[in-house]
Amino acid sequence: MLHGLARLAGVFVTIFGLSGASAASMTFRAEPVGTPSDCRSACPKVVVADGVITRTTPDDLAKFIRANLDDRMFRNVIFLNSPGGSVSPAMRLGVMFRKLGSTVIVGQVEHSREFGNDPKVGVPLKYGSCMSACVFALMGGKRRIVPEASEVGVHRIHSRGQIDVASPDKRRMYIFAESDLVAQMRGYARMMGVNPDLINLAESVGPDTLHKLSDAEIRKYHLARRSL
């Protein structure tokens, strides 16, 4: 499936990312898809990527790929579900997806109670979300799909700095990306075939909120398709 890993190159140096994410770090697992009547005991497998994107996430994916290189049941399809994380690792993840030629779908795959935990049988597909820095990973897919029930959201990239002792609630001050960093993110989007104006939209949204992209915006920025 994923032999393009050996040719992987390109590391981005952006340091700003989503703050305050409480979900677990991203994990990768193999899941069979389909039903026993469709594929009997040999359902094809997909990669499920779920959780916060951290600095170790690209290396974790590389380890996962190496461990599964010989499994011929794998299909080059990644189900992505993430609240965000760090921008630089997200772009590295996107570069990996592109090098591998992966189809990236915003969604989840979960075991069906009907079939129990038997790894040989199928599992159902569910909607998912890809927020903040996750969008940079999504951009890397050779084919990008955001099903109707799934959501993609953007906002201004930031990290949190020192506590503002002058503020009544002692909140932390935000540190935002400088213009050259924004230009780099625009260049990355363009390289992936996404309209770089999506970065401008994200940078116009406050750090404490998320702008969920509409169908029209997903099409306008060439981010993804809504169906397979």
Mean pLDDT, the chain cut into blocks of 10 residues (228 residues total): 37 35 82 73 88 96 95 93 94 97 93 51 77 97 96 86 53 71 93 97 90 97 92
In a domain, 172, yes or no: no
Q: Is 228 exposed, middle or buried (0-12, 13-18, 19+ CB in 10 A)?
A: exposed
Question: pTM of this prediction?
Answer: 0.82
The total number of structural domains that make up the chain: 1
Which residue in the block uniquely carries the two structure tokens 């898809």? 33
Residue 57, domain member (yes or no): yes
Cβ atoms of 224 and 138 within 8 Å: the answer is yes
The answer to the question of residue 91 being in a domain is: yes
CA 148 to chain centre: 17
pLDDT for 40: 63
* pLDDT reported for residue 43: 81
In a domain, 37, yes or no: yes
pLDDT at 36 (0 to 100): 62
> Quick check: helix, strand or coil at residue 33?
coil
Would you state the pLDDT for residue 155? 93
Torsion angle defined by CA atoms of residues 12, 13, 15 and 18, in that order, rounded to the nearest 10 degrees: 0
Q: What is the pLDDT of residue 124?
A: 66
- Confidence at residue 41, expressed as pLDDT on a 0 to 100 scale: 65
On whether residue 34 sits in a domain, the answer given is yes
Which residues form the domain of 75?
3-151
85 occurs within a structural domain: yes
On whether residue 218 sits in a domain, the answer given is no
* pLDDT at res. 142: 97
Query: Is the residue at 164 inside a domain?
Result: no
Instruction: Give the 3-state DSSP-derived string for 58-110, with helices as H, strands as E and coil as C.
Output: HHHHHHHHHHHCCCCCEEEEEEEEECCEEHHHHHHHHHHHHHHCCEEEEEEEC
